[in-house]
Amino acid sequence: MPKTRPVARTPIPTVDSLPDDIRARILTVQEKSGFIPNVFLMLAHRPAEFRAFMAYHDTLMDKSEGVTKAEREMIVVAVSALNQCQYCVVAHGAILRIRAKNPLIADQVAANWRKADISDKQKAMLEFAIKVTLRANEVNDADHDALRQAGFDDEAIWDIAAIAAFFGMSNRLANVTNLRPNDEFYAMGRG
C-alpha cells in the first residue's frame, strides 16, 4: 500500500472554516462530482486568490466559442504534460475524456500530442499553445497566420494563448505545492 501523502504543502482549511461564497462553490462541486478536487482545498487557504483564480479559470474554460470545451481541456493537458504537472494532467485529462467522449484522448495528448488521434486543426492549436508555453517571446505574425489558416479567428487565438499562459501559472503552483491529484480523477471518463 502506498504511503498516504498530504493534499499539498500549503495549509488545507476545513470546508466549514471557509468564507460563505467559497464554501458554497466547493460544496456545489462536491455535490456534482462526488468529491472535492484538491486544487480547491489548496487554493482556499487564501480566499482572495481563490476567487481571482477561479474567476479567470471560469472565464477561459466555460465558454465554447472559437475553441470547444474539449479543445480547451486538450490545451491544458498538453501544456501541463510539458510542464510535468501531475495534478493538471490527471484532473484535466479526466475532464478531457468526458468532454471529448473519448477514453483514450487524454493519455494520447499527454504522452505525445503530435501522434494523438486529433485533427490537423487541433494539432495546429496545440503547436501554438506549446510555443506560448516555451517561447512566447518568439510568437510572431506567421504563428497567427497559421492558426487563421487552420480555421481559428483572432478571438480563438487569444483564448489558446490565454489558456496556455494561465495553466503555465497553475502548473507551477501545483508543482511548487506538490498538489496531489484526487484518486477519483484517474477513472473518470474511461468507459
- Residue 31 burial (CB count, 10 A): 8
Residue that has been written with the C-alpha cell 484522448 in this structure? 105
Task: Write down the pLDDT at residue 64.
Answer: 87
Q: What is the percentage of the chain residues whose pLDDT exceeds 90? A: 96
pLDDT at 191: 83
- Per-residue model confidence (pLDDT) at position 2: 58
Higher pLDDT, 74 or 2: 74
C-alpha cell, 170: 497553475
For range 5-19, the mean pLDDT: 93
Nearest in space to 100 (alpha carbons), one of 126, 78, 73: 73
| pLDDT tens-digit readout, 138-150 | 999 999 999 999 9
Which pLDDT does position 4 carry in this prediction? 75
pLDDT in tens, 71-130: 999 999 999 999 999 999 999 999 999 999 999 999 999 999 999 999 999 999 999 999
User: How close are the terminal C-alpha atoms of the chain, in Å?
Assistant: 26
pLDDT tens-place string over residues 52-61: 999 999 999 9
Instruction: Assess contact for 18 and 47: CB atoms under 8 A.
Output: yes
Mean pLDDT of the chain: 96
Sequence letter at residue 27: L
